[in-house]
């Protein structure tokens, strides 16, 4: 896309607009096409930490979908049955607030960590980083080092180039397919999914979602890479509001590094009037987003610390102290002391603790049965043969536990209230639900109003710890 935008030229002598402004509109490109980044491989402490964290996360993602615990999948979102199995617990739509609370905890956790250490989430754990890392690793194995890849891309087509490029894309597609299958496997039992896909018995949506996630993984990690972080991820845009002068982020130390300049290892930098940066450009070549950390804090920086490893290796070779690029704070760079604990870390930390506490208490005190009562809207009330008033209800019992249970129903709140129907124990399967019609009779002498409160209670027969109760209304005649 291009557009004619009149650009003001500044007269270098006066700092004001020059006469040329009147005549010459200049064409400015509003769209810059992506420049392919050839990332140089690097080894070092932070790369090793990244490697182990990425492997652990990938391992959990691909493994957990196969693991069962006590006969139940470890993690499974059973949408048709509206059940969510998470680490041995089963959750239902009525537990939705727990899911919301967990998402809030994740958000506050992210804010808290970002306030302390910047974008460590992006650099070490974000799925986009994890999968891009794997795809880049595969690329390096097949096409070779950075220089070889640049040469290969510039070379005319040849059998070697076609074979290497095809092998890379096939490998990427296989990883993407495994990712798509695994993701759908969290919603559609993985063993059934694979069998149904192989025999073409799977639901059409299963094919669609596997295809969608395969393509999304292939495009995001293979082709778009840093573009996702730069243009699609909202977190990159608003994370800077959580930064302050005490946030520890990957930074270049200009006091130590400048003035930069190349020199021989044996040269005396003080004599040359140079800082520690030898201007080798290695920190830029290893950067997955293609930025130069020496230009200061930039929103493109995902905090991966690869430039730290690269620069430390250069410092080792030059026999200079490590840490020209390091995790540090703006205050420390300016020679001031940094504070770890400050109002915003206290604020996020306190909210985080509060939410975690609330979720733990809710899960620990969660009753594994839920009772819902619906009054029969077809009739207000009936008189029975002995002149007592009858109301009809439907009780919905959700057994939220992993075992089948029998329940006893009781009514309370009106002295003479008695169950005419619904006296027998009600059996409900594990994680099942059942609707039970119930008729209650009441002596009209006990009714002081048209509406009288009544309470239904269910109790498990096998344990005293499992019970639930729900209030409803008993409707009777207008009192005389
Ligand atoms: S790697 Fe270090 S020495 Fe080399 S250009 Fe970057 S900051 Fe300077
Ligand atoms: S500048 Fe680049 S290499 Fe350095 S931490 Fe940021 S994203 Fe990583």
Instruction: Report pLDDT digits (tens) over 190-220.
Output: 999 999 999 998 888 899 999 999 999 999 9
Task: Give 114-155 pLDDT, tens digit per residue.
Answer: 999 988 889 999 999 999 999 999 999 999 999 999 999 999
Structural domain boundaries in the chain: 1-33, 244-333, 369-475
Residues with CB under 6 A from ligand 1: 252, 257, 260, 277-283, 294, 310-311, 314, 324-325
CA 415 – CA 391 distance, rounded (Å): 15
Helices (H), 186-293: 190-198, 204-217, 226-227, 234-238, 254-257, 269-272, 282-285
Which of ligand 2's atoms lies nearest the C-alpha of 306?
3
Architecture of domain 369-475: Sandwich (2.60)
Secondary structure (3-state) at 238: helix
Burial class (CB in 10 A: 0-12, 13-18, 19+), 267: middle
Task: Give 339-373 pLDDT, tens digit per residue.
Answer: 888 888 888 889 899 999 988 888 888 788 889 99
Query: Which of 228, 287, 295 gets mutated to test ligand 2 (max ligand atoms within 8 A of its CB)?
Result: 287
Task: Give 14-54 pLDDT, tens digit per residue.
Answer: 444 444 445 556 666 666 667 889 999 999 999 999 999 98
Nearest protein CA to atom 7 of ligand 2, as residue: 301
Buried residues in 350-363 as b, exposed as e (16+ CB within 10 A): ebbeebeeebeeee
Burial class (CB in 10 A: 0-12, 13-18, 19+), 31: exposed
Peptide bond into 330 cis (omega under 30): no
At 440, phi and psi to the nearest 5?
-120, 135
Distance 333 CA to ligand 1 centre (A): 17
Query: Which of 276, 283, 321, 322 gets mutated to test ligand 1 (max ligand atoms within 8 A of its CB)?
Result: 283
Q: What is the pLDDT of residue 197?
A: 93
At 197, phi and psi to the nearest 5?
-65, -40
Q: Which of 109-113, 221-225, 398-402 has the lowest mean pLDDT?
A: 398-402
């Amino acid at each position: 896309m291009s557009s004619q935008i009149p650009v003001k030229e500044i007269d270098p002598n006066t700092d004001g607009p020059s006469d040329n402004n009147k005549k010459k509109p200049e064409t400015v490109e509003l769209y810059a096409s992506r420049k392919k980044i050839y990332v140089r491989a690097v080894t070092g402490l932070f790369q090793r930490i990244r490697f182990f964290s990425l492997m652990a996360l990938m391992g959990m993602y691909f493994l957990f979908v196969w693991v069962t615990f006590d006969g139940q999948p470890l993690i499974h979102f059973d949408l048709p049955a509206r059940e969510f199995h998470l680490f041995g617990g089963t959750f239902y739509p009525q537990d939705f607030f727990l899911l919301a609370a967990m998402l809030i905890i994740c958000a506050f956790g992210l804010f808290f960590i970002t306030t302390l250490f910047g974008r460590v989430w992006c650099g070490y754990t974000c799925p986009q980083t994890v999968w891009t890392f794997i795809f880049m690793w595969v690329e390096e194995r097949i096409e070779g080092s950075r220089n070889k890849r640049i040469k290969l891309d510039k070379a005319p087509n040849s059998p070697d180039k076609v074979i290497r490029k095809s092998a890379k894309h096939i490998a990427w597609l296989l990883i993407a397919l495994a990712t798509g299958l695994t993701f759908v496997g969290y919603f559609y039992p993985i063993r059934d999914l694979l069998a149904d896909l192989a025999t073409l018995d799977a639901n059409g949506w299963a094919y669609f979602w596997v295809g969608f996630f395969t393509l999304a993984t292939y495009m995001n990690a293979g082709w778009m890479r840093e573009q996702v972080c730069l243009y699609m991820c909202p977190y990159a845009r608003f994370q800077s509001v959580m930064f302050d002068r005490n946030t520890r982020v990957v930074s270049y130390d200009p006091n130590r590094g400048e003035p930069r300049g190349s020199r021989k290892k044996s040269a005396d930098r003080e004599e040359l009037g140079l800082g520690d940066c030898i201007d080798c450009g290695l920190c830029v070549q290893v950067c997955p987003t293609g930025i130069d950390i020496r230009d200061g804090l930039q929103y493109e920086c995902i905090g991966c610390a690869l430039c730290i490893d690269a620069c430390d290796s250069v410092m080792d070779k030059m026999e200079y102290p490590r840490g020209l690029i390091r995790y540090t704070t703006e205050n420390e760079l300016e020679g001031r002391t940094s504070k770890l604990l400050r109002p915003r870390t206290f604020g996020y930390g306190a909210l985080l603790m509060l939410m975690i506490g609330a979720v733990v208490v809710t899960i620990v005190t969660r009753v594994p049965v839920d009772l819902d009562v619906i009054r029969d809207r077809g009739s207000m009330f009936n008189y029975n043969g002995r002149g007592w008033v009858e109301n009809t209800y439907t009780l919905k019992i959700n057994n939220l536990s992993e075992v089948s249970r029998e329940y006893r129903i009781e009514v309370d709140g009106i002295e003479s209230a008695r169950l005419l129907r619904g006296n027998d124990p009600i059996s409900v399967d594990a994680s099942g639900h059942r609707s039970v019609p119930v008729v209650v009779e009441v002596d009209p002498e006990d009714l002081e109003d048209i509406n009288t409160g009544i309470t239904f209670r269910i109790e498990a027969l096998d344990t005293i710890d499992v019970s639930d109760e729900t209030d409803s209304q008993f409707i009777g005649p207008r009192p005389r």
